Amino acid sequence: MSGRSSEEEIQDELNELAAIDLRDPRLAAFLAWLVPGAGHIYQRRTGKGLLFMTCILGTFFFGLYLGGGKVVYASMRPQDRRLPYLCQVGVGLAALPAIVQANRMRDPYYPKAPYLNGFMAPPRLPGQVIPRGSVDPEYEEQIPDRPGYSRYRRHGVPSEPHLWRERLHKYFDLGTVYTMIAGLLNVLAIYDAWGGPMIIVPAAGKPEEEDDDSGKHKRPS
């Protein structure tokens, strides 16, 4: 026990809150999205910035590792809508290579091969046109009048999403969950960079209660 009443502690926190210089909150929020914690570091709230950076990026990269680097990709194709990416992109820069890779492979007739051996690239779907040699030959199907391009085999081989799930088993889902949670947590950090901490203050006129997250909270002005 610290021997201080929670009222004093709240007052201390409110005093500290009043002393926080949020600088340019919009820029801080943008930086916080781009690199988790960077917005706080810009505001000279280094301790919190490092805490957010470690927790959020640690969770994101651990998820990416669990998922064999395959769980973060951007795809809005009708056969493969990767909705988890909407959460994953919350970590900013770390998830943006997926957009670059999807953009390279977007052209249905003349797609480019993804960078870095397909890191964060969307899976090839059956029948999809791909640059020749970008997958194992047994998964390729020749296109007669298109030199340099082939098609991902439609029959007789499993599709790439199926292959990934077969190889990674539960780790595909675990990695997806980890990376999604990292992105969502960064939304909290972005909000904190924009508006400062939402310190819990007991509602006026009520007896002081233990801080248990169930009472009324208000953002101090």
Residues 4 and 96: their CA atoms lie apart, in Å, by 47
Decide: is 16 part of the binding site for other proteins (CB under 8 A). Answer: yes
Q: Single out the residue of 28, 29, 31, 59 in contact with other proteins (rule: CB under 8 A).
A: 59
For residue 115, give the 3-state DSSP assignment. coil
Q: Does 107 bind other proteins (CB under 8 A)?
A: no
DSSP 56: I
**Is residue 119 near other proteins by the rule CB under 8 A?**
no
Token pair for 209? 């209660």
The answer to whether 9 contacts other proteins (rule: CB under 8 A) is: yes
Which residue stretches of the chain are H helix? 6-19, 25-34, 38-42, 46-52, 58-66, 84-88, 97-104, 160-168, 170-195
Closest residue by Cα to residue 115 from 150, 69, 182: 69
Continuous segment of H or E residues that includes residue 152: strand 149-152
Q: How far is the CB of 164 from other proteins (least distance, A)?
A: 19
Q: Does 143 bind other proteins (CB under 8 A)?
A: no
Least distance CB 45 / other proteins (angstroms):
7
Binding-residue pattern over the window 160 to 199 for other proteins, x denoting contact by CB under 8 A:
----------x---x--xx--xx--x--xx-xx---xxxx
The contact set with other proteins (CB under 8 A) reads 9, 13, 16-17, 20, 45, 47-48, 51-52, 55-56, 58-59, 62, 170, 174, 177-178, 181-182, 185, 188-189, 191-192, 196-200, 211, 213
